[in-house]
Amino acid sequence: MSIGILKPTEKRARLVGFLLLGAFGLFLVAGGMSIPFLFESFSIKYKFGFHRALLRSGKVIGIVAGVLLFLQLVLVSRLGALNRWVGMDQLVQWHRKNGIFLAFLALSHPLFIFGPEDIQTLPISWEFWPEVVGALLLMGLFYMVASGLLKTWLAFPFHLWMRAHRFGGGFLILAFFVHLLFSSESFEEGLPRLAGLVLALASIVLLLWRHLPFFRPLSRWAVSGVFPAGVQTTQLVLSSEEKKKFLFFPGQFVFLQFFDSEISSEAHPFTVASAPTSNQLEFFIGSHGDWTSQLKRVKAGDAVRVEGPYGRFSYLVLSDERPLLFIAGGVGVTPMLSMLRFLKENYGKRRVRLVWSVRTPHHLFCVSELSRFQESMDGFSMHLLFSHGLGGRRLDQEALSQFVEEFLDAEVFLCGPPPMMRDVGRILVDLGIGKRRIYTEVFGF
């Protein structure tokens, strides 16, 4: 059965997305790097030998750092096709790595420029305001990288860090273009200036795209129920008055935002646990921190804004019809629930196994529904593991080899706490499951 206009994307989609983004980035980088050669500024023209090479390198480095900064924005602008092809988790990973690389690249830019220009101190005066903007930009970049890397260690509240990171990122992009267009001779006129202005305009459009609700895939829902589900987990059910069906792949996630509830209005990502064929959206939300522990205050009738769907953690994005092995830890079972509910309605001849590890039996939810699936789906089996209490059992090599034995040819979907995912992933590879057939979803960016 199809789920509307969404077409399952192929395994190759991630590669296509990567190649397209890479080609776009290379085009910008190559174009930018050619500017100090094709449009020689006076400062380059009147330098010779080593100084000339240094100055030109400094300009090339600055331009490449600027292009990478622009790509930072592209990566987190939640552009529909890019998210569908590559997946938001992968894009966020690239954003993180690219940010660190570009900060160090940007640091070498003034060092290369200052040497041949014989500038020994920072030119701090009104006359040199574009250079001062550049210095602030560099400091801002390092602040962003350091705060991102150290946020957990410094126990920064995530929502405050995220807000500061977003605003900071926007200001850094704008500061870059001010610095480029007002301090660099190469960008004073002609094609380089036009290219700089076009990229600045594209950045403003992306910032508006990312922040103005008008452009985002939003829909309005209302809370129809909030119930306790297992220890420290809340079941949230939403219904919509809109006639239009909400289309998603089972396993995808959305951002939820409450406006008129007694809970803060920041957006948080959660996987839809219901099947795409249901008229309601159902979520199981663990109390992980300040926002999720306030969820009890939400009442039936409260308005919710849903943004999405996002993500590629779904068997529907795969073209193969291999058996499916779902391995979940705790509330990481939510994408599996959605996939199993959808599979139950569209059940073929596929072999499916769920291995779900929770702390104690009290941490389970929806377990009677899942048990019933075993009766209606011939090829479905479920195994529960309790890690705590008497006879507690972990997802170690011994346990996994038992569950994986008949599923060595399966596509594996793995979701749970990061340490568990790391250990299980390693064991699965040792047991002979190819890395390329293990799909993971991390519940955090």
Helix (H) or strand (E) holding 382: strand 380-386
The Cα angle at residue 379 between residues 372 and 4, in degrees rounded to 5: 80
Q: How far apart are CA 10 and CA 210, in angstroms?
A: 27
Write out the residues near ligand FAD by the rule CB under 6 A: 158-159, 162, 253, 266-271, 283-286, 288-292, 311, 331, 334, 441, 443-445
Q: How far apart are CA 288 and CA 147, in angstroms?
A: 21
**14/51 with CB nearer ligand FAD:** 14
Minimum distance between the CB of residue 249 and ligand FAD, rounded to whole angstroms? Answer: 13
Which residue's beta carbon is nearest to the bound ligand FAD?
A: 289
SS3 state at 244 = coil
Minimum distance between the CB of residue 20 and ligand FAD, rounded to whole angstroms? Answer: 23
**39/445 with CB nearer ligand FAD:** 445
**192/286 with CB nearer ligand FAD:** 286
**82/106 with CB nearer ligand FAD:** 82
Minimum distance between the CB of residue 214 and ligand FAD, rounded to whole angstroms? Answer: 21
Minimum distance between the CB of residue 304 and ligand FAD, rounded to whole angstroms? Answer: 14
- The bridge status of strand 411-415 relative to strand 233-239 is unpaired
DSSP 388-438: SSTT---S-HHHHHHHHGGGTTSEEEEES-HHHHHHHHHHHHHTT--GGGE
Minimum distance between the CB of residue 290 and ligand FAD, rounded to whole angstroms? Answer: 5
**17/36 with CB nearer ligand FAD:** 17
Q: How far apart are CA 156 and CA 445, in angstroms?
A: 15
Minimum distance between the CB of residue 118 and ligand FAD, rounded to whole angstroms? Answer: 47
Q: Are the C-beta atoms of residues 383 and 403 closer than 8 Å to each other?
A: yes
Q: How far apart are CA 202 and CA 74, in angstroms?
A: 10
**185/307 with CB nearer ligand FAD:** 307
Q: For the CA atoms of the chain, what is the radius of gyration?
A: 26
